C-alpha cells in the first residue's frame, strides 16, 4: 500500500495538521456550525455556546477572521451593529462539521451503545 501521510505532521507541510490548527481549537467547530445558518451577532453566538466566556469568543472570532474563515462586518448604526459571517473558506469547512455531526449522532449521542458493542467485538 502506498503511504499517503507525511512522515511528520508540521503545520507548514501537512494538510491534516494545518486544518486541525483551525478546526481542533475548542469552540471553533461550534462557532462555524452556528455561522453556517447565516450571519450572527456576538451575543447570539455567545448564547449558542453555553459556557464560553466573552473573552474566549472574542479571541476565537479574531483568530477565525485572521485565518480567513469569517468576515466581521460593522454597520454604522446607533447602537453600532457587528455581524460575523463565513467566507468561502469558512463554508468549505462545513462538510467537516456535517461529518462531525453525523459521527456524533451515530457514535456519541443517539447510539452510545454502538461504541461499547464495537469495542467489545475487537
The CATH code of the domain that includes 59 is 1.10.10.10
Q: What is the pLDDT of residue 55?
A: 97
Q: What is the pLDDT of residue 110?
A: 62
Q: What is the rounded CA–CA span in Å between residue 36 and residue 8? A: 32
How many separate domains does the chain show? 1
The answer as to whether 1 is a domain residue is no
pTM of this structure:
0.79
* pLDDT band at 4; cut points 50, 70, 90: low
Please tell me what DSSP assigns to residue 85.
E
> Among 16-30, 52-66, 82-96, which is the least confidently predicted range?
16-30
Residue 67's nearest CA partner among 10, 18, 22, 23 is 22
The answer as to whether 6 is a domain residue is no
CB 68 within 8 A of CB 87: yes
Cell 486544518, located at residue: 19
Extract long-range pairs of 87-95: CB within 8 Å, 24+ residues apart.
90/32, 90/35, 90/64, 91/36, 93/22, 93/23, 93/32, 93/69, 94/32, 94/36
Q: What is the pLDDT of residue 53?
A: 97
The boundaries of the domain holding residue 52 are 15-117
Q: What is the pLDDT of residue 26?
A: 92
The answer as to whether 2 is a domain residue is no
The answer as to whether 39 is a domain residue is yes
Amino acid at each position: 500500500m502506498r503511504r499517503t501521510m507525511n512522515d511528520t505532521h508540521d503545520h507548514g507541510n501537512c494538510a491534516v495538521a494545518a486544518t486541525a490548527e483551525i478546526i481542533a481549537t475548542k469552540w471553533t467547530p461550534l462557532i462555524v456550525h452556528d455561522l453556517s445558518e447565516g450571519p450572527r451577532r456576538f451575543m447570539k453566538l455567545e448564547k449558542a455556546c453555553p459556557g464560553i466566556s466573552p473573552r474566549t469568543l472574542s479571541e476565537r472570532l479574531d483568530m477565525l477572521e485572521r485565518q480567513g474563515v469569517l468576515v466581521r462586518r460593522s454597520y454604522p448604526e446607533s447602537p453600532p451593529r457587528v455581524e460575523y459571517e463565513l467566507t468561502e473558506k469558512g463554508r468549505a469547512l462545513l462538510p467537516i462539521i456535517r461529518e462531525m455531526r453525523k459521527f456524533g449522532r451515530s457514535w456519541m449521542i443517539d447510539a452510545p451503545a454502538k461504541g461499547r458493542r464495537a469495542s467489545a467485538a475487537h
